[in-house]
Amino acid sequence: MAAWKNPTPAPRLGVVGRANTGAVFDLQQWAPSAAAARWVEHFWSVTWDRCDADPFESAVITFPVLHLTHEWGTDGVRHGHQLPATLVHGVVERVFTTTLSGAGSVVGAKFRPGGFAARFDRDVSPLTGLVLPVDDELFGTPMLLDDDRDRATEKLDAAIGNHDGDDLVYRGLLALLDQMSSDPQLHRVEQVMALSPWSERTTQRVFRRYVGVPLRWVLCRYRLQHAALAIETEPDTEFADLAVRFGWYDQAHFINDFRAMLGCTPGGYATKHRR
């Protein structure tokens, strides 16, 4: 398993204040097998030891994706579930926060947008905002994982990749989402609809079932992630310029959306996290 990590953490899309967390936790990522890569973007792990330090609240501006995790540690209970636990994390509509205390570990599979729904033929909208134990029906058998990063990942990778189905809707959705995430000029729903292979009604239904949140939410989340990263990495950038760059009607709307997601203004975020 070839993992990659930053020896000195740098600002990272979606991870709040990553440049200041190097002494708090260790974050690693690695590629899935070819079989699992149809649905999984990458595997990841986080480990920490806060036994002799105060608890630390970690925050992530989440992507429109689901995660499967196996979690263990001395903290005993995490996300409301007794450890060790194998969990499915639905899309988080605001910011995902968790308190790191004691000594703990997590290994996870970050699915591609729509990948969880396509792999398991499930409507993921009921999972939005929730963290639930993996049920026995998900893989057709109980998923029993070791409290070990490499062994847990190997079993998860094999189980996810053990599927021959092909979902044409998922293929079309991935192509559309790739354009949405990579094109900084896509700011409005009508722009996306011009690229969608489906009608507006069908597109919205596909986003609900496969992604778990509306198309408009996905557009706004991509913009907010990039805006937060720009605040951390571009010290001279004005917030009015960011609002224009990422497609807000004006600076006031940008500030309101930013505050609704992160609970602070862009200025407050800059004070805390700008390098």
Task: Give yes or no: residues 172 and 219 share one domain.
Answer: yes
Res 48: pLDDT = 94
What does the alpha-carbon distance between residue 228 and residue 189 come to, in Å, rounded to a whole number?
Answer: 22
Task: Give yes or no: residues 134 and 257 share one domain.
Answer: no
Beta bridge partners of 98: 58
Place of tokens 């292979």: 197
With cut-offs at 50, 70 and 90, classify the pLDDT of residue 247: confident
Q: What secondary structure does DSSP assign to 194-255, as a single string? A: TT-SS-HHHHHHHIIIIISS-HHHHHHHHHHHHHHHHHHH-TT--HHHHHHHTT-SSHHHHH
Query: pLDDT tens for residues 17-40?
Result: 555 555 688 989 999 999 999 999
Task: Give yes or no: residues 199 and 157 share one domain.
Answer: no
The encoded tokens of residue 208 equal: 């609900």
Query: pLDDT tens for residues 211-230?
Result: 999 999 998 888 888 888 88
Task: Give yes or no: residues 196 and 70 share one domain.
Answer: no
> Is-contact 75 83, C-beta < 8 A?
yes
168's CB contacts (< 8 A; 6+ apart) are: none
Res 104: pLDDT = 96
Task: Give yes or no: residues 188 and 141 share one domain.
Answer: no
**CATH at 203:** 1.10.10.60
Res 250: pLDDT = 86
> Is-contact 22 28, C-beta < 8 A?
no
Whether residue 197 is predicted with pLDDT greater than 60 in this model: the reply is yes
The encoded tokens of residue 67 equal: 């995660």
pTM for the full predicted model: 0.88
DSSP 91: P
With cut-offs at 50, 70 and 90, classify the pLDDT of residue 2: low
Q: β-strand 3-4 against 26-30: which pairing, if any?
A: antiparallel
Task: Give yes or no: residues 45 and 136 share one domain.
Answer: yes
Task: Give yes or no: residues 222 and 154 share one domain.
Answer: no
Last residue in a domain, options 145, 161, 177 = 161
Query: pLDDT tens for residues 114-131?
Result: 999 999 999 999 999 999
Task: Give yes or no: residues 66 and 180 share one domain.
Answer: no
Query: pLDDT tens for residues 63-104?
Result: 889 999 999 999 999 999 999 999 999 998 887 888 899 999
Task: Give yes or no: residues 198 and 112 share one domain.
Answer: no
SS3 59: strand
The backbone torsions φ and ψ at residue 77, rounded to the nearest 5 degrees and listed phi first, read -130, 135
Structural domain count, the chain: 2
Last residue in a domain, options 106, 133, 161 = 161
Res 83: pLDDT = 97
The encoded tokens of residue 104 equal: 């703990």
With cut-offs at 50, 70 and 90, classify the pLDDT of residue 4: very low
Please provide the average confidence, as pLDDT, over all residues in the chain.
89
Task: Give yes or no: residues 193 and 139 share one domain.
Answer: no
* Largest distance between two CA atoms of the chain: 56
> Residue 175's domain spans which residues?
168-273
Task: Give yes or no: residues 41 and 56 share one domain.
Answer: yes
Last residue in a domain, options 161, 179, 203 = 161
- State the Cα torsion 140-149-26-128 to the nearest 10°: 0
What does the alpha-carbon distance between residue 165 and residue 115 come to, in Å, rounded to a whole number?
Answer: 12
Task: Give yes or no: residues 173 and 140 share one domain.
Answer: no
